Structure 1
Amino acid sequence: MARIIILGSINMDVVVMTPRHPNPGETLFGSDLKFIPGGKGANQAVAASRLGGDVVLVGKLGEDAFGSALQKFLEEENLNLDHLYFSQDTPSGTALITVDENAENRIIVVPGCNAELSPADFGSLSITADDILVSVFEIPQETIKAAFQTAKEVGAKTILNPAPAAPFIEGLQDLCDTLIVNETELSFFSGEDANPDVLESLHRQARAIRSTASQIIIVTLGGNGAVCLQGDDFFSVAGNKVEAVDTTAAGDCFTGALAVALKEGLSLSDAIRFANFAASLSVQKVGASASLPYRQEVNGLL
């Protein structure tokens, strides 16, 4: 059976609800505090699993209280954790997240042992041509590159969400079959402010960041859906506008859902539509993993 292999980060999200984000030097009172399992890799893995994917998570935790709690959570999410590793010396990854009354978040990530995930941690995993390999920039790019090279050698598909945005190391981007970026990341890689209301601008920027003619570029636009560059075709897929409560992990939900839809053989446009609807459900709840929908919820919308 084709698997979705997620090579990524695992964090404990410390989430604070505030009326607004504080100004420099300012102290605000928060209205709520939650500890929620997160990290882009874990979020994508849980999203894909809840939507019906056969998911392998490759990641690293610290041998600490957060690590124990995160391990327990992941064990309950129907994931293959044979390649979950532990660090004795470095703490688990942590994300400090503030969410304002407009559902906009600001996030500070302390990578912890996510930064120690190495090519050797991935090396014992056997990949087949039917697998889809997914990764993010919350782990070392050298590790992603080694994994993607292995995937390319056997003919497996690769999906990268280069977030948080950072310059690519040499040779990595060419190994990506599909890049998924949001407006902020599109602006970073293209060097031009993204305007979601001007398709011509998005088309130009998508072409500018593509490193190979066959590489697929997907730009997520929140409630406005997404646009996609595939070969010479550029098309948009409508979103599902909802009343957002917390946008944390919406992009991770989209990525995990897209991988599931592609694994099931949906066309690219239908896969993006499926991922849009899944992400629209996630923003209606607080927290990362806590907000990720199950398959029946997405099917109900579709």
Structure 2
Amino acid sequence: MHANVVVVGSLNMDLVTRAQRLPQAGETLAGESFFTVPGGKGANQAVAAARLGAQVAMIGCVGADAYGQQLRQALLDEGIDCQAVDSASGVSSGVALIVVDASSQNAIVIVAGGNGQLTPASVQRFDALLQQAQVIVCQLEVPTDTVAYTLARGRALGKTVILNPAPATGPLPAEWYAAIDYLIPNESEAAALTGLPVNDLQTAKVAATRLLGLGVGKVIVTLGAQGAVFAAGKGFEHFPAPVVQPLDTTAAGDTFVGGFAAALARGEDLRAAIAFGQRAAAISVTREGAQPSIPYLHEVQAVVTR
């Protein structure tokens, strides 16, 4: 298999509980349910791209534990090339502790585990995967020097480079921006990158303008139910979100990124790719969990034909 989308990023086991509301500091709440499910932004985006029509390879690292075996198998079951998913001894696999409230908002604590062992050398060993890809996707749940290497290598190879800056805690290194074709933050991530408030279409445009000024090619700010704002040059376009009744927003952003990457890899134009990613994300928020919520290509196509 020659992967046309390569995802460099994290694999986590999600430990999920539902409660009426999120706990306050020092408070103990009674949860309503608990389950474990494969997640991690990198793996979620790889699964989304695979289910939504791309040939996908994953570059990542898990711990030498039961969770690591389960995470790798979950990707293999999706037909994802896992030759570059390493196993590190002496550390756990990455985990995410997730609480989802009655309004479908979530709070997440991440332990990097094996994800923290993914080095630039790890990526370099599988350079052949990057060379054959059309689209390379990164996030921020692995070491920053690994992200920096991957972005620069993707640019040197002339690939379409996507960065989903999640989780974002502040501005990106200045030298990264010129290597990024599509920067895809949500509201809080755009605010963290720019230091500006982002909560609606207008403030998203202001933040996107700031990011374009730093040298990134194109910006897509995802705004949940408010849709997405695309910015390039001095132009903006608003893409309204499909209207659905949300159940769980976990992995909605990852579904958008994976769907967008898959659409670009099969040659769809920019606007069609954004709309496709939005339709896929809209389906995902009507379902529980991270990877279990991600739809398949035929489900998204069915929405279009109704």
Alpha-carbon shift at residue 171 of structure 1 (Å): 1.7
1:211 CA displacement: 4.8
- Partner of residue 184 from structure 1, selected from 181, 188, 192: 188
Q: Counterparts of 2:132 and 2:179 in 1: how far apart (Å)?
A: 15
Say if 2:56 and 2:80, in contact at 8 Å, map to a contact too.
yes
Which residue is equivalent to 1:232? 234
Contact 1:3 1:53 in 2 (8 A): yes
**2:279 counterpart (274, 277, 280):** 277
- The letter for the 2-side match of 1:136 is Q
Unaligned segments of structure 2, at least 5 residues? none
The one-letter code of the counterpart of 2:198 is A
CA distance in 2, matches of 1:79, 1:55: 5
Separation of aligned partners in 2, 1:3 and 1:130: 4
Q: Does the 8 A contact of 1:223 with 1:280 survive in 2?
A: no
Shift of 1:169: 3.1
5+ residue gaps in structure 1?
none
Matched AA of 1:237: F
Task: Give the residue type in structure 1 aligned to 2:71.
Answer: L
Higher mean alpha-carbon deviation, 205-214 vs 235-244, is at: 205-214
What are the equivalent positions in structure 2 for 1:252-271 lying under 5 Å apart? Answer: 252-271=254-273
2:179 is aligned with what amino acid? Answer: L
Alignment of 1:1-302 (within 5 A): 3-125=4-126, 126=128, 127-128=130-131, 131-166=134-169, 167-196=171-200, 199-212=201-214, 215-302=217-304
User: Residue 201 of structure 1: CA displacement?
Assistant: 2.8
Calculate the aligned-residue CA RMSD, in Å: 1.4
CA contact 1:2–1:132 (8 Å) conserved in 2: no
SS at match of 1:218: strand
| Native 8 Å contact 1:90 1:113 kept in 2 | yes
Q: Which moved more, 1:204-213 or 1:69-78?
A: 204-213
SS of residue paired to 1:174: helix
| Structure 1: distance between partners of 2:301 and 2:132 | 28
Q: Given the superposition, is the C-alpha separation of residues 178 and 19 from structure 1 closer, same or farther in structure 2, using an over 3 Å criterion?
A: same
Alpha-carbon distance in 2 for matches of 1:273, 1:232? 21
Question: What's the TM-score once normalised by structure 1's chain length?
Answer: 0.96
| DSSP-derived class of the 1:59 partner | strand
For residues 152 and 106 of structure 1, the distance between their equivalents in structure 2, rounded to whole angstroms, comes to: 34
Following the alignment from structure 1 to structure 2, what is the Cα–Cα distance between the partners of residues 211 and 40? 27
The one-letter amino acid paired with 1:301 is V
- Alignment partners' CA distance in 2, 1:176 and 1:213: 9
Letter in 2 for 1:259: A
Amino acid at match of 1:264: R
Sort the Cα spacing of 1:59 and 1:129 in 2 relative to 1 into closer, same or farther, 3 A. closer
User: Bigger shift: 128-137 or 235-244?
Assistant: 128-137
TM-aligned CA distance change 1:271 to 1:286, over 3 Å: same
AA at the equivalent of 2:53: G
How far does the alpha carbon of each residue in 1:166-204 deviate from its partner, in whole angstroms, 9 at most, with x for none?
A: 3323522221111001011111122121131xx333222
State the identity as a percent: 38
Mapped contact 1:174–1:211 kept (Cα < 8 A): no
CA distance in 1, matches of 2:259, 2:108: 23
- Provide, for residues 57-84 of structure 1, a one-character-per-residue CA deviation record: whole Å limited to 9, x for no partner: 0010111111122122121111011101
C-alpha displacement at 1:208, in angstroms? 0.7
How far did 1:32 drift?
0.5
DSSP-derived class of the 1:82 partner: strand
Residues in 1 aligned to 2:54 and 2:224: alpha-carbon distance in whole angstroms? 23
Aligned partner of 1:36: which letter? Answer: V
- Structure 1 runs (4+) deviating above 6 angstroms are none
How has the CA–CA distance of structure 1 residues 57 and 130 changed in structure 2, closer, same or farther, with 3 Å as cutoff?
closer
* Structure 2 CA distance for partners of 1:129 and 1:74, relative to 1, 3 Å: closer
CA distance in 2, matches of 1:244, 1:301: 16
Contact 1:214–1:231 (Cα < 8 Å) also in 2: no
| CA separation of 1:85 and 1:268: change in aligned 2, threshold 3 A | same
The structure-2 alpha-carbon separation of the partners of 1:284 and 1:235, relative to structure 1 and needing over 3 Å to count, comes to same
Query: Would you say the 8 A contact 2:164–2:257 is kept in 1?
Result: yes
